[in-house]
């Protein structure tokens, strides 16, 4: 197996709150230097990472995953020194009470009302954002010196290695897919180094997906790819909800939004290489960057490959390395169809 937990752990420990992805972008840009020169790698004004691997005059195949993660933003400071906050992206409010956070480099916790003190009928209700506060353990004047309106709130959560190739962490949505693309490049390194691919791979690690696919739109417009394969997470079956099998392989998606010929070619590559995979089909949008990428410029032939995870949009999302390996293998198998001398 090419995908290693320690490599994934290092990636997950680099912060990338939505709209403030620069630290993560710089980290990924450095990793991409294994596959192309630094002159072919850039970080744009929205913190998108763009890397051209191969001859830019050839067919451009874009591999993209969004790099941003959920966070909160400071919207006010009370007279007592508590912070008011609001979500950046689809944060699950049910997971916030008692969570550990970092604001402007200061550790704190999200306040939780003891059940003994809850108002009648409120004990089992999820509070609205107007009733969610952060406690930094400091006096109001100290808080106001350290924290400003608009500062980002990072939710603290460990990266935990579970048994049987599984792991738990925040931000598997969607750093797990960034990792899968990096793993695919590792599998293709020999062909890349020997210039034996009749295409140009363009990697786009896109920003701000959680607030409307803004990075993907800007990045795709500048790249003008001929094809795009988008990677994102999807729902895995869990005790209380349906979904795809965890550890049963990446999901090849079919939709009216996606290019059928491209997805059939991806499916064929997976089958011919005996790569474990699953399927999903819908007639509607998926709510991923793939929906946006497909209609940028004059239109892009777009497809979607998904990696199942449990407990999406919580600090304890659970994934399986078998599914990462499957996604990376599918990407690599499709790109290998452009190996010099290989016939369709």
Per-domain residue ranges for the chain? Answer: 5-69+170-336, 72-155
Q: Which fold has domain 72-155?
A: Elongation Factor Tu (Ef-tu); domain 3 (2.40.30)
* Structure tokens that stand for 150 in this block: 């608009």
Angstrom distances, CA of residue 27 to CA of 21, 67, 145, 167: 10, 11, 30, 22
d(CA 202, CA 50): 7
**Over the Cα atoms of the chain, what is R_g?**
21
Q: Which helix (H) or strand (E) holds 194?
A: none
pTM for this entry:
0.95
Query: To which CATH superfamily is domain 5-69+170-336 assigned?
Result: Zn peptidases (3.40.630.10)
- Backbone phi, psi, residue 111, to 5°: -60, 145
* Structure tokens that stand for 172 in this block: 């598997």
d(CA 167, CA 175): 13
* Of 139, 131, 94, residue with least CA distance to 111: 131
Task: Give yes or no on whether 5-69+170-336 and 72-155 have one common fold.
Answer: no
d(CA 123, CA 119): 7
**48 neighbors 205 (Cβ within 8 angstroms):** yes
- Backbone phi, psi, residue 75, to 5°: -110, -10
Taken in order 68, 70, 75, 80, the sign of the CA dihedral is negative
Q: What is the pLDDT along the chain (344 residues), one digit of tens a residue?
A: 888 999 999 999 999 999 999 999 999 999 999 999 999 999 999 999 999 999 999 999 999 999 999 999 999 999 999 999 999 999 999 999 999 999 999 999 999 888 787 777 777 788 899 999 999 999 999 999 999 999 999 999 999 999 999 999 999 999 999 999 999 999 999 999 999 999 999 999 999 999 999 999 999 999 999 999 999 999 999 999 999 999 999 999 999 889 999 999 999 999 999 999 999 998 877 789 999 999 999 999 999 999 999 999 999 999 999 999 999 999 999 999 999 865 55
d(CA 155, CA 109): 9
* Structure tokens that stand for 258 in this block: 């996606």
Residues 6+ apart with CB under 8 A from 160: 167, 168, 169
């Amino acid at each position: 197996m090419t995908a290693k937990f320690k490599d994934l752990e290092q990636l997950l420990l680099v912060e990338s709150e939505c709209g403030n992805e620069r630290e993560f972008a710089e980290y990924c840009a450095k990793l991409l230097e294994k596959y192309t020169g630094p002159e072919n790698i850039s970080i744009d004004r929205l913190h998108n990472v763009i890397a051209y691997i191969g001859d830019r005059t050839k067919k451009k195949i874009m591999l993209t995953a969004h790099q941003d993660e959920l966070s909160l933003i400071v919207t006010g400071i009370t007279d007592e020194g508590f912070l008011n906050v609001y979500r950046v992206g689809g944060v699950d409010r049910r997971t916030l009470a008692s969570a550990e956070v970092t604001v402007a480099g200061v550790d704190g916790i999200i306040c939780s009302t003891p059940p003994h003190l809850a108002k009648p009928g409120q004990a089992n209700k999820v509070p609205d954002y107007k009733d969610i506060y952060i406690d930094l353990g400091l006096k109001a004047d100290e808080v106001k010196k350290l924290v400003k309106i608009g500062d980002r709130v990072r939710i603290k959560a460990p990266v935990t290695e579970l048994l049987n190739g599984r792991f738990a962490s925040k931000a598997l949505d969607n750093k797990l897919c960034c990792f899968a693309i990096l793993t695919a490049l590792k599998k293709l390194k020999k062909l890349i180094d020997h210039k034996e691919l009749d295409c140009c791979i363009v990697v786009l690690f896109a920003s701000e997906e959680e607030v409307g696919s803004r990075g993907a739109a800007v990045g795709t417009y500048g790249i003008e790819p001929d094809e795009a394969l988008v990677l994102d997470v999807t729902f895995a079956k869990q005790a209380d909800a349906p979904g795809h099998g965890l550890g049963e392989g990446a999901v090849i998606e079919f939709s009216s939004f996606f290019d059928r010929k491209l997805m059939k070619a991806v499916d064929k590559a997976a089958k011919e290489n005996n790569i474990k995979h699953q399927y999903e089909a819908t007639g509607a949008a998926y709510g991923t960057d793939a929906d946006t990428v497909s209609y940028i410029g004059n239109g892009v032939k777009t497809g979607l490959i998904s990696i199942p995870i449990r407990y999406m949009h919580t600090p304890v999302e659970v994934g399986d390395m078998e599914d990462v390996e499957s996604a990376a293998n599918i990407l690599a198998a499709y790109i290998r169809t452009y190996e010099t001398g290989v016939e369709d």
